[in-house]
Amino acid sequence: MSSMGMYFGEFFGTMLLILLGDGVVANVVLKDSKGNNSGWIVITTAWGLAVAIAAYITGWVSGAHLNPALTIGFAAIGNISWSLVPGYIIAQLLGGFVGAVLVYLSYRDHFAATDDADAKLGVFCTAPAIRNKASNMITEIIGTFMLVVGILGINHANNNVGALSALLAGFLVWGIGLSLGGPTGYAINPARDLGPRIAHAILPIPGKRDSDWDYAWVPILGPIIGGVLGAFVYQLFTNLWV
């Protein structure tokens, strides 16, 4: 597979991830949607399914990282060439942006009907339940650490999961959302947060607030740190048994 093909796989997969992931948030929080107020279980379930579906569609093309934290973590332990990392990250960010635009187009009337500007922003990006950036950073580090350890563990050769890999990754993200998503909304993915946040800033959403750029660095830096830590810790763990 050419590098351009892999970049497109990351773009397309991240676009689908955000279309379904931000889409469920829109369904739950926007006024007069049929899923309005259906709650956290619905959101976390659909995000897990979004990961699995996007990974099945594009995993054979690019590995379906769909997340700069995964890409950087994998590169740090030699699972992907550093030469591919910039292209992967650019493709993921663009995919996140386009996926968010598609969500806006799908729910355009509901954005107009909703008065809550925080809810509108929440469709696109994460925000902490209690704003304490140090604590929020720690939460994002821990959540992404678990994501990378989980992905590497699921795909270890001894597990021989084969075609179940993407489904299990979806279960992993579902579990992280249920267990660790409460404090920050579990970005655990810089592209999932930054690409849609840029879309929120640009799109003509009626009655929107600012895009909360003061917080935006937390769901970027925290996942990258957690991803690298998770990759190295899992590598150390497996090396103990070689």
Residuewise pLDDT in 10s, the chain (242 residues): 789 999 999 999 999 999 999 999 999 999 999 999 999 999 999 999 999 999 999 999 999 999 999 999 999 999 999 999 999 999 999 999 999 999 999 999 999 999 999 999 999 999 999 999 999 999 999 999 999 999 999 999 899 999 999 999 999 999 999 999 999 999 999 999 999 999 999 999 999 999 999 999 999 999 999 999 999 999 999 988 76
Q: How far apart are CA 123 and CA 96, in angstroms?
A: 13
CATH number reported for the structural domain that contains residue 131 in this entry: 1.20.1080.10
Asked if 176 and 135 touch (Cβ cutoff 8 Å), the reply is no
Give the burial class of 37: count Cβ atoms within 10 A of its Cβ; 0-12 exposed, 13-18 middle, 19 or more buried: exposed
Cα dist from 102 to 23, 70, 95, 196, whole Å: 9, 24, 11, 10
Report the number of distinct structural domains present in the chain.
1
Structural domain for 211, as ranges: 3-239
Cα dist from 52 to 80, 113, 127, 174, whole Å: 21, 32, 24, 10
Q: How far apart are CA 214 and CA 211, in angstroms?
A: 9
To 5 degrees, how large is the angle CA 214–CA 227–CA 90? 65
Asked if 35 and 24 touch (Cβ cutoff 8 Å), the reply is yes
Q: Please state the pTM of the whole predicted model.
A: 0.96
